[in-house]
Amino acid sequence: MSQGKGAFDTYEKCDFAEKMELEERERRKAPKGALSPERAIALLYVLLALTFVLFMALTIVNLRRVSAAWEALEQAQMRSENSHTTAWHNLSEVQRTLDKQLSGELKTIHGRLLNVSQEVGNVRWKMRRCEAECRNELSDRLRVLEERDTLELVLQQLAEVKQEQSQILCTKCPAGWQQFAKTCYFFSTTKQPWLAAKQSCNDFNAHLAVVDTEQENKFLANHIMKDRVFWLGLTDMDSESNWQWVNGRSLSLSYVFSLIGGFWNSGEPNNAGQQGEDCATIYSSGLWNDVLCSSAEAWICERSC
């Protein structure tokens, strides 16, 4: 028995020695710096604990921030409510003050209006009184004048009417002349330059036509045959662009120009050519044009009845 037990112990020792030798080989085969499973698990627990602690710390910090923000919001809301209350109170005070001022001003204005109304009433009463007195005085004066000068006034008015009729009904135009209102017009059948035409009118104790109204311009145009051109008594030969009538009046100061700026054709006067165009003509359309004064054209003379 002792021999068998010794052999068994020897076998166990050999087996233990082999296990130790195997573990030693495995330990040598393992890479340097590698952790054992026990250490890795321990390290993992440590990391989990640190993570939990860090998470709790962050949570506490965030909760404090949220709490602080909420308190700040509540304080801001309270300040806003207080400011609204103060503003409403101030507005109420301002409104009461304005109401008092307006009430006082309205009372003052009302008093002034009453005074003005009274003054207007007094003025109306005075005007009615004056009107009645003036009417009576005028009636008396008219009665005196009618009794004293009735016949003389009637005769004077009759003479004035006869004179006006003689002026309106012009019957003294020479043969070959056309009558318009209180003026006689001569339309030539020959042609000559502007200065010669002007002299021809002077020989008839007349002058080249001067247009004073739109109706007169239409009258002249109606007596001009189509494609005919006639001289007017209008020129700027003395001063360029300063158009003057032969009677000395400036076109810019005449009645026609003050109404519609004359009757110039589109683009006229343009003073075309090297010698310039300094004398005005009229077409059958009633429109005017500036042409060379030495051109030979028909002309229109004008003189009073």
**Residues whose CB is less than 8 angstroms from the CB of residue 203 and which lie 6 or more positions away in sequence, other chains included:** none
Strands (E), the chain: 178-180, 183-187, 207-208, 230-235, 244-245, 279-282, 288-291, 298-304
In a domain, 102, yes or no: no
- Asked whether the beta carbons of 230 and 187 are under 8 A apart, the reply is yes
Q: Is 89 part of a structural domain of the chain?
A: no
pLDDT tens-digit profile of 267-295? 999 999 899 999 999 999 999 999 999 99
284: CATH: 3.10.100.10
Residue 134 lies in a domain: no
Query: Within a domain: residue 137?
Result: no
Q: Identify the pLDDT of residue 146.
A: 60
Per the CB < 8 A criterion, the answer to whether 300 and 206 are in contact is no
Q: Low-confidence residues of the chain, pLDDT below 70?
A: 1-16, 19, 23-35, 87, 120, 123, 130-134, 137-138, 141-142, 144-171, 255, 258-261
* 140 within 8 A of 132, measured Cβ to Cβ: no
Q: Does 143 fall in a domain?
A: no
pLDDT tens for residues 54-94?
989 899 988 888 888 888 888 888 887 877 778 677 777 87
User: What pLDDT was estimated at residue 166?
Assistant: 47
Tokens encoding 207: 């002058």
Asked whether residue 151 is assigned to any structural domain, the reply reads no
* Listed residue (301, 283, 279) closest to 194, CA to CA: 279
Rounded to two decimals, the pTM is 0.46
Q: How far apart are CA 130 and CA 124, in angstroms?
A: 10
Pairwise CA distance, residues 279 & 193, whole Å: 10
Sorted by sequence, the CB contacts under 8 Å of residue 276 that are 6+ apart come out as 240, 292
- From the CB of residue 162, how many other CB atoms can be counted at a distance below 10 Å? 10
- Name the H helices within the chain: 2-29, 37-168, 194-203, 214-222, 255-260
| DSSP type of residue 212 | -
What pLDDT, on the 0 to 100 scale, is given for residue 144? 62
**Which range of residues forms the domain containing residue 277?**
178-304
Tally DSSP H helices, then E strands, for the chain.
Answer: 5, 8
Tokens 């010794």 belong to residue? 6
The answer to the question of residue 289 being in a domain is: yes
Is 46 inside any structural domain? no
Q: What φ, ψ does residue 292 adopt, rounded to 5°?
A: -65, 130
Number of domains the chain is built from: 1
Candidates 303, 293, 253; CA nearest to 273 is: 293
